[in-house]
Amino acid sequence: MTTNNEKNKIDSKVPQGPLAEKWTEYKAHQKLVNPANKRRLDIIVVGTGLAGASAAATLGELGFNVKNFCIQDSPRRAHSIAAQGGINAAKNYQNDGDSVYRLFYDTIKGGDYRARESNVYRLAEVSNNIIDQCVAQGVPFAREYGGSLANRSFGGAQVSRTFYAKGQTGQQLLLGAYSALSRQAQKGSVKLYTRYEMLDLVIIDGKARGIIARNLVSGKTERFSAHAVVIASGGYGNTFFLSTNAMGSNGSAVMQIYRKGAYFANPCFAQIHPTCIPVHGENQSKLTLMSESLRNDGRIWVPKKKEDAEAIRAGKLKPTQIKEEDRDYYLERRYPAFGNLVPRDVASRAAKERCDAGYGVGPTGLAVYLDFSEPIQRLGRDVVEARYGNLFQMYYKIVDENPYETPMMIYPAIHYTMGGIWVDYELQTSIPGCFCIGEANFSDHGANRLGASALMQGLADGYFVLPYTIQNYLAGEISTPRFSTDLPEFNEAEKGVQERIDRLMKIQGKRSVDSLHKELGLVMWEYVGMGRTKETLEKAIVEIKRIKKEFWSDVFIPGDGKDQNTELEKAMRLADFLEIGDLMARDGLLREESCGGHFRLEYQTSDGEALRNDEKFSYVSCWKYKGEDQEPEMLKEDLNYEFTKVQQRNYK
């Protein structure tokens, strides 16, 4: 692989001036598009999760013509619906010392000082508007007895700023965005294309001008043109096969624009969530998240004595039989200031450390306890049930154990990706006219996202940021006529898509797509997972290359490439996951430090915490595609902290 050390080659377009005034100044001087001209401009939005649905609805309300695509049969089935715990905002309703600056600082610190200051401050600044917007839509946030909106705490913060709707916050927020989207669809400003999957980006004269998409019902490829394209397709966590993501979640749209010239930023930054139901068998297809909100009241522990842990693993002892003095509440012990509400990367590594040391529980020894006996005794079962009832019910249905009576078993799992497509301050990629929002971009979260901030970023981008910044670009397109999809660039793009499909269908090997994906997932978890080293990352690159070769020579895809074919869909996504896995390993290998979710075992403090190297690695790694089977080139966007003191994270 090659790297480029040229300074300031990548322009992030961050406005000048004080941090708290940058967004206001930007909006005051940006270019606008008047109402009559908006009707002449088309925008494609790929994705209908919180970022995509909110962006499409808002752009439609502004008067643009929007074409909105999703792979599901309804926008309501986007994976945003699975988010449980809540959404952050700096309302300070609890009068506990919160502020826009504190939300900004917690996010920067939580991301281990690997995020762009200006973007993170803007995120904190617009967070309060999101709550007002969602309340106006009728989102049923939890309320206090007197009627005011309720808050609870999440990891990495010492204030209560998380708004929630029981354990179904993502579902309720998505229904709010969906209602706004449906209104625009009925008005005619948004045209919905359900069961369509983007397969390529069309570029004309250096600008994004459309997409090639596959109709997943008929199997036909179709062409769509626009003046700008917005990617809001989510993250790439399913590279690991087993993750908390829906099985249909994929990284293909981001890889398509990466191959057309968009930079892929910080691919090695993947989040491992500490509270997931442990793996229970070899035939499992996904993992289930247990909301971080449970760490508000639940206490995490393992037995203090190895013999007790061994007895539990052998089925000779129950957790309820372990005396209080024989329980190690290791997060409370190691991090007294934050206790069980340390950030996710810290909690995950602590759980792994205890299990690796032989104190893990459950049949495999790869689990710790999340215990509610104390809050049930202190608050009463009714209060705990009102807060977490649906989560307890979900756990009971999956594990067949009653968490009101016996502690939950949890273990870390892949959940979210902080890496993604590089975007500037305007959320525009390195391809003019191609924008990227939500989890699909390299985000505002640095090397680790704090809980309840994914929903905040998705809705901030869609409702309050992109609708401004995209106009700065489209103001220069008001004289550009609509594009015919018969242009040579569309012909060439569709031809490339068809050749890729034909190549896959002709292989007719012996390996199923899922068997190869599982093999990739095992390599990723073993060598690019919670603890990485130079040796494991180098091994991952070799192993991924081997699996890729086997995939392209021995995969079996039944059926016809011109009809509905779910195995073909999975194969095309796996081809992209193989490329993403390689990028993740290469990026992790070059980043010789530990920060956030990227933990290199060679780089840690004496007490096992992440050891950054700010002198050499305070940058965004931006990977540039150089061609099929060619090593990518790494460019750098330097991270300059003007308003924040960069220091070692401390949650003790």
Task: Point out the residues that are catalytic.
Answer: 344
Other C-beta atoms closer than 10 Å to the C-beta of 118 total: 21
Q: How far apart are CA 74 and CA 89, in angstroms?
A: 28
3-state DSSP call for residue 517?
helix
Which residues, in sequence order, are bridge partners of residue 417? Answer: 270
Q: What is each CA distance from 95 to 150, 160, 650, in whole angstroms?
A: 12, 9, 24
Pairing of strands 434-436, 228-231: parallel
The tokens of 18 are what? 């004080």
Q: How far apart are CA 521 and CA 513, in angstroms?
A: 12
Q: How far apart are CA 278 and CA 291, in angstroms?
A: 14
Nearest to 484 by CA among 209, 193, 132, 300: 209
The tokens of 57 are what? 């609805």
The DSSP H or E segment spanning 408 is: strand 408-417
Ramachandran bin of 635, using left for φ above 0, alpha for ψ from -120 to 50, beta for the remaining angles? beta
Contact 130, 34 (CB under 8 A): no
User: Which residues, 6 or more positions from 339, have their beta carbon under 8 angstroms from its beta carbon?
Assistant: 331, 332
Amino acid at 610: A
Q: How far apart are CA 268 and CA 628, in angstroms?
A: 21
Distance of CA 560 to the CA centre of its chain: 33
HEC per residue, 226-280? CCEEEECCCCCHHHHCCCCCCCCCCCHHHHHHHHCCCCEECCCCEEEEEEECCCC
Q: How far apart are CA 441 and CA 447, in angstroms?
A: 13
Nearest to 225 by CA among 18, 395, 480: 480
In 400-527, where does DSSP find H-type helix? 454-459, 466-474, 488-507, 513-527
Q: What is each CA distance from 227 to 127, 239, 502, 516, in whole angstroms?
A: 29, 32, 30, 38
